[in-house]
Amino acid sequence: MSSVAIGNKKGFGATLWDYLTTVDHKKLGNMYFFAGLLFFAIAGFEALLMRIQLMVPNNDFVSAGLFNELLTMHGTTMLFLAATPLLFGFMNWIVPLQIGARDVAFPFLNSLGFWLFFLGAVFLHLSFFMGGAPDAGWTSYASLSLYSPGHGIDFYVLGLQISGAGTLISGINFVVTIITMRAPGMTFMRMPLFTWTTLIVGALITFAFPPLTVALFFMLVDRMFGANFFDHTMGGNTIIYEHLFWIFGHPEVYILILPAFGLFSEIIPVFARKRLFGYSSMVFATILIGFLGFMVWAHHMFATGLGPTANAIFAVATMAIAVPTGMKVFNWILTIWGGSIKVTVPMIYALGFIPSFVAGGVTGVMQAVAPLDYQLHDSYFIVAHFHYVIVGGVVLGIFGATHFYWPIMTNRVLNEKLGFLTFWTFFIGFHLTFFIQHFLGLMGMPRRVFTYQGDQGWDLFNFISSIGALLMGLGVIFLVVNMLLSIKSKPLNTSDYWGDGRSLEWALKTPVPFYNFKQTPLIRGYDPYWIEKHEGNKEGMTYAEPVGDIHMPNGSILPLIMSIGMFIAAFGSLYHPDGVSWSVPVIILGIGITVACMIIRSFKDDLGFTVTKEEIIATEESLYGKGGNK
């Protein structure tokens, strides 16, 4: 369906319909990217409001209740609805290109995953306008969340349940795609690091999200029907909730950081003009981090009172994670060692990432020292630590990769001067905000406080921290301006924009046609494009097949309708505890819509469509002029 009209200007309605029904991994990548950016902006704004409130002691800029809503929504949104979809945007865009596939293994599910995530996220955010947002922290510990009045927690539970299902679907999809759809010759040990980290993250999602689903489901039925899973007065247990949450929650940290590691492992070799040092140990370290990530959840609960033996075991297991992470850092440094470093915008993000992440990593090891963690836990020290990891690792990774992959994704380039300005503003702001928070924590300031009394020795540092936060906000604005400006700039129509591309995606000429590679490439080693380039192959790649018909999946509106069904059902569940008469019919209606879509999908034969050789040649000529992608 999208085979026609490539390159021709389409009306707004047609474009909208195209995006609502698309199953194309690149378009879904765009949608993930922009949805992620939207929620990143919202959550960043919430953070700014909090930092303004904490700028001076005894401030009344926001009320206590609103502050708790802000801190809950900031954490929830940043982790589930900003960082995850932004990374999914890159995974969707880049992984199929890196492995030479035409799309993901299940394009329909890919679309369903996006819409579930997006509508779940919208549902969660509606809470702001419908009686108050969740206010029990992103962890939403059971005793407080059961106690919390209003519908805030119901929004949290239902919204995350829906968007979590979307994330789980996407995670499984990536695993299947990477295992089954690699181009001929691309063995596992020839896969680029970003593809490797996506594979491991897919596996982590597959195992980590079910415990969250269980925890949220228990919470849902507790609040809807008084099921008493967590109500201790009725024999329930809130510690179980903490375990379930962190069995998910700790791998979630690696779900976010591993793709960022992958992105940096793509950026650094390109701008060091040197092969990634210790590829196989990088792969091994990724797998090991993923595995150990499941073994350490209780280090979030050292103060819960699990007893010395449990604390000791989880302390040592946590320290062990530092070893593979250290391997990665040294491998990155040895990659630039002896290379030829060109400081571009993506590279400066990578160079800024290394010391920032190391700083975040070592404070993590300090918190693994359980008795020391009794002091650090739930203080501003931990706030500083996880922002060093998440901002210094994940966000710098996302920003760097945005500049790095912008030429492939949009066929435009982001302004370099503005890019450096963004980096320095954001980077200085980031360290200003969070470095000093380590000391606030050590000086006794608990986290998640909406205000503090003056003269406890915290006033100056809080003020500095807030100034830093404003700088970070400014940096993000620069980035968005840069993106908007680039849309108006001249198309690149080139391949290998950075000149030293190594992996398969750089062999493609932009704009990337909807079927990706005209002919499936043949992979002759690690860094396949680099190999071909340096053997003087003018074609870009060696191909595994002649130009022939290409089989592509059809778009479908069903994923959107299915997700809307869940969205409707969620409203029924939300108001069910209020005893309204329409709640059960609405639940049945919503789930009915979803099930009906599933039935339609199951009984309708959809074999996709074929792009003929002639159409391919015509498309290539309309994109790149006579001669096509050569």
Partner 1 sequence: MMKGLKKWRLFSLLAVMTVFLSACGEEYISTLRPAGAVGKEQFNLLLFSITIMALVVVVVSVLYIYAFFKFRRSRQGEDYMPKQVEGSHTLEVIWTVIPIVLLLILAVPTLISTYKLGDVAAMEHVDEDGNKTALTVDVTAKLYWWEFAYPDLGIVTAQELVVPTGEKVYFNLKAADVKHSFWIPSVGGKMDTNVENINKFYLVFDEESEGLKDGVFYGKCAELCGPSHALMDFKVKTLAPEAFDAWVASMQATEGQIASKDSTDLGEATFAASCLGCHAVSSVTGMPAGAAMGPNLTTFGDRSHIAGFLEFNKENLVSWIKDPEEYKPGNLMTGAYKVGNNNPDELSDEEISALADYIMSLSVEK
With contact defined as beta carbons under 8 Å apart, do 240 and 228 qualify? Answer: no
Partners of 550 in the β-ladder: 611
Return the DSSP state at 610: E
Least separation in angstroms between residue 291's CB and partner 1 is 16
Subset of 219-258 contacting partner 1 (CB under 8 A): 232, 237-239
In the list 188, 225, 337, 582, the residue contacting partner 1 (rule: CB under 8 A) is: 337
Query: Tokens standing for 337?
Result: 């060692």
Alpha helices in 377-415 (DSSP H): 380-389, 396-410
Cis previous bond, 511, omega within 30: yes
Nearest to 93 by CA among 41, 31, 171, 183: 31
Nearest-angstrom CA–CA distance, 518 and 532: 17
Nearest to 411 by CA among 486, 329, 346: 486
Helices 459-488 and 416-442, axial angle in degrees (round to 10): 160
Cβ proximity to partner 1, 88 vs 530, nearer residue: 530
Stretch that binds partner 1, among 5-13, 260-268, 332-340, 557-565 (CB under 8 A): 332-340
Least separation in angstroms between residue 60's CB and partner 1 is 11
Least separation in angstroms between residue 303's CB and partner 1 is 5
User: Binding to partner 1 by residue 88, rule CB under 8 A?
Assistant: no
Partners of 543 in the β-ladder: 521
Partners of 629 in the β-ladder: none
Nearest-angstrom CA–CA distance, 507 and 494: 10
Least separation in angstroms between residue 88's CB and partner 1 is 29
Cβ proximity to partner 1, 330 vs 582, nearer residue: 330
Stretch that binds partner 1, among 22-30, 81-89, 178-186, 454-462 (CB under 8 A): 454-462
Least separation in angstroms between residue 297's CB and partner 1 is 16
Please give the span between the terminal C-alpha atoms of the chain, in angstroms, as a whole number. Answer: 26
In the list 206, 213, 451, 554, the residue contacting partner 1 (rule: CB under 8 A) is: 451
Nearest to 142 by CA among 234, 208, 215: 215
Stretch that binds partner 1, among 18-26, 104-112, 305-313, 569-577 (CB under 8 A): 305-313
Least separation in angstroms between residue 69's CB and partner 1 is 10
Cβ proximity to partner 1, 332 vs 571, nearer residue: 332
With contact defined as beta carbons under 8 Å apart, do 113 and 170 qualify? Answer: yes
User: Binding to partner 1 by residue 581, rule CB under 8 A?
Assistant: no
Least separation in angstroms between residue 260's CB and partner 1 is 18
N residues, the chain: 630
User: Binding to partner 1 by residue 370, rule CB under 8 A?
Assistant: yes
In the list 7, 184, 226, 444, the residue contacting partner 1 (rule: CB under 8 A) is: 444
Least separation in angstroms between residue 38's CB and partner 1 is 27
User: Binding to partner 1 by residue 542, rule CB under 8 A?
Assistant: no
Give the angle 180-185-190 at the CA atoms, nearest 5°: 85
Cβ proximity to partner 1, 365 vs 564, nearer residue: 365
3-state secondary structure 176-217: HHHHHCCCCCCCHHHCCHHHHHHHHHHHHHHHHHHHHHHHHH
Subset of 273-292 contacting partner 1 (CB under 8 A): 273-275, 277-281
Stretch that binds partner 1, among 94-102, 435-443, 490-498, 546-554 (CB under 8 A): 435-443
Subset of 31-70 contacting partner 1 (CB under 8 A): 63-65, 67-68
User: Binding to partner 1 by residue 536, rule CB under 8 A?
Assistant: no
Least separation in angstroms between residue 80's CB and partner 1 is 18
Nearest-angstrom CA–CA distance, 249 and 204: 11
Cβ proximity to partner 1, 63 vs 489, nearer residue: 63
Stretch that binds partner 1, among 23-31, 114-122, 199-207, 376-384 (CB under 8 A): 376-384
User: Binding to partner 1 by residue 618, rule CB under 8 A?
Assistant: no
With contact defined as beta carbons under 8 Å apart, do 261 and 321 qualify? Answer: no
With contact defined as beta carbons under 8 Å apart, do 158 and 200 qualify? Answer: no
Cβ proximity to partner 1, 88 vs 241, nearer residue: 241
> b/e per residue, 244-280, with b = 16+ CB within 10 A?
bbbbbbbbbbbbbbbbbbbbbbbbbbbbbebebbbbe
In the list 6, 418, 428, 449, the residue contacting partner 1 (rule: CB under 8 A) is: 449
Stretch that binds partner 1, among 182-190, 218-226, 347-355, 481-489 (CB under 8 A): 347-355
Kindly determine how many residues on this chain lie close enough to bind partner 1 according to the rule CB under 8 A.
90
Cβ proximity to partner 1, 17 vs 497, nearer residue: 497
Q: x/- binding map, residues 110-149, to partner 1, per CB under 8 A?
A: -------------------------xxx---x-xx--xx-
Nearest to 236 by CA among 224, 211, 218: 218
Least separation in angstroms between residue 169's CB and partner 1 is 31
